[in-house]
Amino acid sequence: MKSFTLLPALLSVAAFTGLTQAQTFSLDDNPGAAAFGLASFGPAGFGFGAEDPFGLFLPATAGGLVGPSPSLVFSAFGLFDGELFAPGMVPDVVPPNGFAVNALSADHEGINWDPILIKFSVDRATTGLPGTSLAIESMFSQAPGDIYTSTRAFPHPGTFVGSLTGAPFSGVLPSAGGGGGNVLTYDESFFGLTAGLGAGVTLPAGVPAPPIFPGTHDNLDAYNDLPAPTLDVTGDMINDFDYFFSISPDEAAITGTSSADIFDVATGAGATAPIPYAPSFTMGLDVFGGFATDDIDALVLWDNGAPLGPNWNGPGGEPLIDFAIFSLANGSMSLAAIQAMGLPVDGSTVFFTDFTGSFAVYAFGSDLGILDMMMTGDHFQGNLDALEIIFVPAPGSIAILALSSLALMHRRRR
């Protein structure tokens, strides 16, 4: 398999081209689930946070009993699981009824086979490899509300459709390994989030922020900016694109589902109840530890089946047609099983599935410049909270993108 790399100059262009967009995101809100009668899933009136979905009770900065993101508490709707926002904490679409949103992806249908860069967020404990933007922002207590972009390009995930072995875990794909870095693409202040100074008070990147304690820093938990800037482009708070998400383990326990299941909200459905899209076993999940023992924590999904067309096999994830990349939360039994095989996976590992009942390692956290188990031996330190992609621009478009970026940066300074 050809190894994809990217020159730093090209990366800076690719990273800045997204500045004209507004994104859809959610915050780490599940600790407030106790307000909806779920207090039994955590002591002292707290639910388990998205950073610690299985109640591992890690130190406060590593998850455990974290407080909810402070900006969410003071949002327009008050504390509510699954709220989806655009920058400035502006409500984007009406959230799905009764569901928390732990991972989020619009339908990326329409295959562009160009290599991709991976955009991501991390939790309050995760840091980066030395010299990366994530390491610097973590040192300043500024990382959990940011979006970072890998300095390394990866082959398009669709390249690997049909390549899995059929076993629940298919090993490591050629795209994984070799390391990488990251750059800061959006500081949390871009979204109007706080780095410890209180809701509504922002701090620019590269400035020391207050130390992280439970409930002091916003944590960007799910994120989407493709195929359109926001899920609602018409301003009526109804989603104009299909989107997909996973839910938290405590809500999955209430509904009798799995936090490794994927749900679908159809275009225009608004707040109506979502429908199941892909049960966990179609991705090889909830196999090693039994049902409801895995948790999808970040997601990018390509739903390519044409309804009633020659390749359509009914609703949901269609094997060898649809595909996704995702991460699993620390505490997932599949992670523990793969770690027992001697592979350094953790919550920052990116996996691939083509819905054939199997999944494989697409990229290790260290390939994104994250300090992961491969580098530390710590099973729980690395955690990837959100995923998105950006296509590597074709060579002929570099000059156009550079000019566009410079013009945009000039406008922002005025």
- The string over 99-120, giving b where at least 16 C-beta atoms fall within 10 Å of a residue's C-beta and e elsewhere, is bbbbbbbbbbeeeeeebbbbbb
Is 140 inside a domain boundary? yes
Mean pLDDT across the stretch 338-352? 95
H-helix or E-strand spanning residue 327? strand 323-328
Which region among 15-19, 72-76, 227-231 has the lowest average model confidence (pLDDT)? 15-19
- What confidence score (pLDDT) does residue 359 get? 98
350 or 5: which carries more pLDDT confidence? 350
Each residue of 195-254: pLDDT tens digit?
A: 999 989 999 999 999 988 777 889 999 999 988 878 998 889 899 988 999 988 878 887
> What local confidence, expressed as pLDDT, does residue 401 receive?
37
Element (H, E) at 170: strand 169-172
Written as six digits, the tokens of 60 are 């406060």
DSSP 113-163: -S-EEEEEEE-SS--B-TTSHHHHHHHTT--TT-EEEESS-B--GGGGTT-
Dihedral pair phi/psi, residue 270, rounded to 5°: 60, -130
CB neighbour list of residue 62: distance below 8 Å, 6 or more residues apart:
51, 52, 123, 124, 125, 380, 381
What is the tally of structural domains in the chain? Answer: 1
Maximum C-alpha span of the chain: 58
Q: In this structure, is residue 385 part of a structural domain?
A: yes
Rounded to an integer, the average pLDDT of 98-121 is: 87
3 within a domain of the structure (yes/no): no
Domain span at 294: 8-413
Domain contains 2: no
Q: What is the pLDDT of residues 249-297, one digit of tens each?
A: 878 887 889 999 999 998 888 777 788 999 999 999 999 999 999 999 9
Inside any domain, residue 47: yes
pLDDT tens figures, 139-198: 999 999 999 999 999 999 999 999 999 999 999 999 999 999 999 999 999 999 999 999
Q: Do the domain assignments include residue 1?
A: no
145 within a domain of the structure (yes/no): yes
- Contact, 246 vs 319, CB < 8 A? no
- The answer as to whether 348 is a domain residue is yes
The mean pLDDT of 403-408, rounded to a whole number, is 35
What are the b/e assignments for 217-244, b being 16+ CB within 10 Å? bbbbbbbbbbeebbbbeeeeeebbbbbb
Instruction: For the chain, give the mean pLDDT.
Output: 80
Q: The whole model's pTM is what?
A: 0.86
